[in-house]
Amino acid sequence: MNPVDIITKKRDGGEHTATELYFLVRGMVNDAIPDYQLAAWAMAVFFRGMSDAEATQLTLAMAESGDTLDLHDAVAPGVLIVDKHSSGGVGDKTTLAVGPIVAACGLPVGKMSGRGLSFSGGTIDKLESIRGWSPDLSEERFRRQLREIGLVIAGQTADLAPADKRLYALRDVTGTVPSLPLIAASIMSKKLAAGADAIVLDVKCGRGAFMEKLDDARALARLMVAIGAGAGRSVTALITGMEQPLGNAVGNALEVREAIATLHSHGPADFQALVERVSAEMLLLGDPACPSLDGARQQVQKAIGSGAAFEKLVAFVATQGGDPAQVYHPERLPSAPVQRTLVAQSSGYIHAIDAREVGLAVVEMGGGRKKKGDAIDFGVGAVCQAKVGARVSAGDPLCAVYAADEASASVALSRLGAAWRVEEGTADPLPVILDRIVGG
């Protein structure tokens, strides 16, 4: 088989066979196909797209391109391995609360998570703001912890989906990241390789997400649900709003504090609602005894109300080397020394908060990386005090800024000042769940 034939076939709008896609993926992993040919093919896919069947075959080939995990020996017989994936957004600390809740309901959660990317934070960076906590676990420790605690969150340990690593790096520098089939295959191949039987996808949509338009988010969600069905997995996709930051806190330790508050039922309403919904969707997919979404939601609320979810978080943090005292006393988490408040310049209603600008302001303060390997300042960030739909008077607080020094606080204040839009007419609060797509 010749890579040139595969490139020209896609360039001319043809449909790949499974054999062609497996050949291509093998060439990504053993370097038999050079970068320029893979890049040309990715660009052809960008313009010509893929059928659901092609995207499914590409996903399976990428999932099988390296190690694959089977975690069933670490859970009780008959229990499904349910994973969740968020496409990333500003203030998205959902895994920090969902993991302990679902595990406290008896469904084991063994997850591989990532670090921050551009304006969007990452679960591993957030958890590392807890003193001593480590994402580096051997496969044996991962399995033991899943068996004993029922909750593990680790960095990518095994050599999962190496074809995706190569292709993603090429897409990143050839303008081909925003291709729906390539995004879907990239995400789903990693979930399949990590051993998920069922997956809840949180596809974020809006200025604070990588997918800005609702139609694009829906198309991506539909494709991933179809790939899941083609691969024999149950997938539920929620499309969730990311026009403004999720919850109030943006910044690593601040987000851990907010997740802890949520496990005590004191989370911001939008975040609490999303956490409960994602948790319930995971239970519905993974627990054969779970009768309905409402039944699942009741289980979730019981796990929060009884304190079981919070205790699960404590056990999980301690088992991965973290200091449980910082979970019991979140005020002991890292906190930036300079605190300033952004106030409303005029009276009115909040019509918009540019979530991307909030995320970028936090990165600028040191809460994220501007280049690979940058150290993170865990204590910096922003806490929204008034969100879209709220009425404010001139001088009311809009946002608290936590900065390392006066200079970065004033840069952040002016950037954040431009992110809040206050106008005279009323504005409705923004919905969190925009749509739900399930396999047919």
Active site residues: 85, 164, 171, 186, 190
Least distance (Å) from ligand URA to the CB of residue 232? 21
Q: Determine whether 69 is exposed, middle or buried from the number of CB atoms within 10 Å of its CB (0-12, 13-18, 19+).
A: buried
Question: Which residues sit opposite 154 in a β-bridge?
Answer: 112
Which among 270, 312, 322 is positioned nearest to 124, based on CA atoms? 322
Question: Which residues sit opposite 67 in a β-bridge?
Answer: 160
Distances (CA, A) of 436 to 94, 109, 297, 300: 17, 22, 16, 19
d(CA 225, CA 285): 13
Query: Residue 413 corresponds to which tokens in the numbers above?
Result: 């204040």
Least distance (Å) from ligand URA to the CB of residue 183? 4
Taking residues 194 to 233 in sequence order and writing x for each that binds ligand URA by CB under 6 A, - otherwise, the string is ----------------------------------------
In the complex with ligand URA, the residue whose CB is nearer, 59 or 186, is: 186
In the complex with ligand URA, the residue whose CB is nearer, 177 or 404, is: 177
In the complex with ligand URA, the residue whose CB is nearer, 83 or 258, is: 83
- The site for ligand URA, by CB under 6 A, has a size of 5
Q: Which of residues 90-129 bind ligand URA (CB under 6 A)?
A: none
Question: Is residue 242 involved in binding ligand URA (CB under 6 A)?
Answer: no
Question: Is residue 65 involved in binding ligand URA (CB under 6 A)?
Answer: no
Answer for the pair 183, 88: CB distance below 8 angstroms, yes or no. Answer: no
Name the one range near ligand URA by CB under 6 A: 16-24, 90-98, 181-189, 300-308.
Answer: 181-189
Name the one range near ligand URA by CB under 6 A: 1-9, 37-45, 179-187, 280-288.
Answer: 179-187
Least distance (Å) from ligand URA to the CB of residue 10? 18
Strand order across the beta sheet in which 249-250 lies: 249-250, 381-384, 397-403, 338-343
Greatest Cα pair distance in the chain: 69
d(CA 105, CA 150): 10
Taking residues 129 to 168 in sequence order and writing x for each that binds ligand URA by CB under 6 A, - otherwise, the string is ---------------------------------------x
Query: Residue 183 corresponds to which tokens in the numbers above?
Result: 């995004």
The crossing angle, in degrees rounded to 10, of helices 35-48 and 162-172 is: 80
Least distance (Å) from ligand URA to the CB of residue 177? 6
Give the residue at shortest CB distance from ligand URA.
Answer: 186
d(CA 99, CA 151): 7
Contacts (Cβ under 8 Å, ≥6 apart) of 63: 161, 188, 189, 190, 192, 193, 231
Strand order across the beta sheet in which 198-205 lies: 82-86, 198-205, 234-241, 433-438
DSSP 8-state class, residue 141: H
Least distance (Å) from ligand URA to the CB of residue 184? 8
Q: Which of 6, 146, 183, 221 binds ligand URA (CB under 6 A)?
A: 183
Q: Which of 187, 209, 220, 238 binds ligand URA (CB under 6 A)?
A: 187
Question: Is residue 186 involved in binding ligand URA (CB under 6 A)?
Answer: yes
In the complex with ligand URA, the residue whose CB is nearer, 126 or 191, is: 191
Least distance (Å) from ligand URA to the CB of residue 92? 13
In the complex with ligand URA, the residue whose CB is nearer, 129 or 179, is: 179
Least distance (Å) from ligand URA to the CB of residue 426? 36
State the Cα torsion 343-346-348-351 to the nearest 10°: -70
Residues that bind ligand URA (CB under 6 A): 168, 177, 183, 186-187
